[in-house]
Amino acid sequence: MDAQIDHYAVLGLPSGEEGAKLTEKEINKAYRWKALELHPDKRPDDPNAAANFQQLRTSYDILRDDKARKLFDELLRVKRDRELRHSQRDGKRRKMVSDLERRERDANAPDLAAKEREEEARIARKLKEEIARIRAMHSMKAAPPPPPETEKESGRGGGGGGLDQEKVLKVSWEKVGEDYSADKLRELFSEFGEVEDVVIKGSKKKGSALVVMATKEGSVAATGSVIGHLANPLLVLPLKPATVADSSSVPKSAETPKLSNLVGAGYQAFEDSVLKKLQKAAEKQK
């Protein structure tokens, strides 16, 4: 369960009150160092390397989200207070507290331990909801609905032309360390098949691009395989997951991860605009 994980410890940072005072800059720095250490390419013999690297990215996204981080800090505080009270109780004190709690229960007084457990469960539920919100937000950006078919496309006989979205990959990265150009992305993805086009869009903090592969097989093979620079790894997602028939011949290690476990940033309006341009270009080539 995500609520039981110390996300500060995952990034190698101090937890508790000291962790709550960490700045975003310190968290970003810790993530970059930890990403180099846990990158799957650095641990070829570790069967859990990919899962550990994914957990690192999830913890990083939670600590960067103000609302989720505030709930997580509050959950840690409740746990610390409870553990401190338990550690301070010796045998005699525990008996006295037990007698006092029994008398309070007999007098219909509220059970302090039950209230603590209830508060901890409430905060844990809220944190779980925030984590689900973050994952759902990124999942929606990772797989936008296909653009509506135009009259020109629907009037054609047969299968209809246009760009096959299952061959399009959405790539995103942090603007830290070495950046990525269109030529560099083409070079990385060409190892898995011919690359038809690369369109880059980015901001000051994040970079993103759409990579159009020549075949669906190349798109499926590149997903989860292209990682990029160790100091600035790439997040590669399919614009539209391949169907079962298209992906049955690809090894299990190259299948698209579940979208609920993926995080990243996208640009909805930009993707729709680029898709329309790519579709027009594909029609002209026919």
pLDDT (tens digit per residue) in 179-210: 788 898 899 899 888 999 999 887 777 888 89
User: Rounded CA gap, 46 and 213, in Å?
Assistant: 30
Residues in the chain with pLDDT < 50? Answer: 1, 150-160, 244-267
pLDDT for position 162: 62
Q: Is the dihedral of CA 137, 207, 255, 230 positive or negative?
A: negative
User: Rounded CA gap, 123 and 73, in Å?
Assistant: 10
Check if the beta carbon of residue 226 is closer than 8 Å to that of residue 189.
yes
pLDDT for position 272: 66
Query: Which residues make beta-bridge pairs with 47?
Result: none
* Phi (first) and psi of residue 251, to 5 degrees: -55, 150
- 247: helix, strand or coil: helix
pLDDT for position 227: 78
Q: Give me 47's structure tokens.
A: 């069967």
pLDDT for position 157: 41
pLDDT for position 249: 47
pLDDT for position 270: 58
User: Rounded CA gap, 13 and 76, in Å?
Assistant: 14
User: Rounded CA gap, 133 and 128, in Å?
Assistant: 9
Sheet strands (E) in the chain: 168-174, 195-202, 206-213, 228-229, 232-233, 235-238
pLDDT for position 194: 92
Please give the model's pTM, rounded to 2 decimal places.
0.35
pLDDT in tens, 11-51: 899 988 888 889 989 999 989 998 988 898 888 888 988 99
Nearest-CA neighbor of 173 among 202, 149, 144?
Answer: 202
pLDDT for position 2: 60
Check if the beta carbon of residue 167 is closer than 8 Å to that of residue 216.
yes
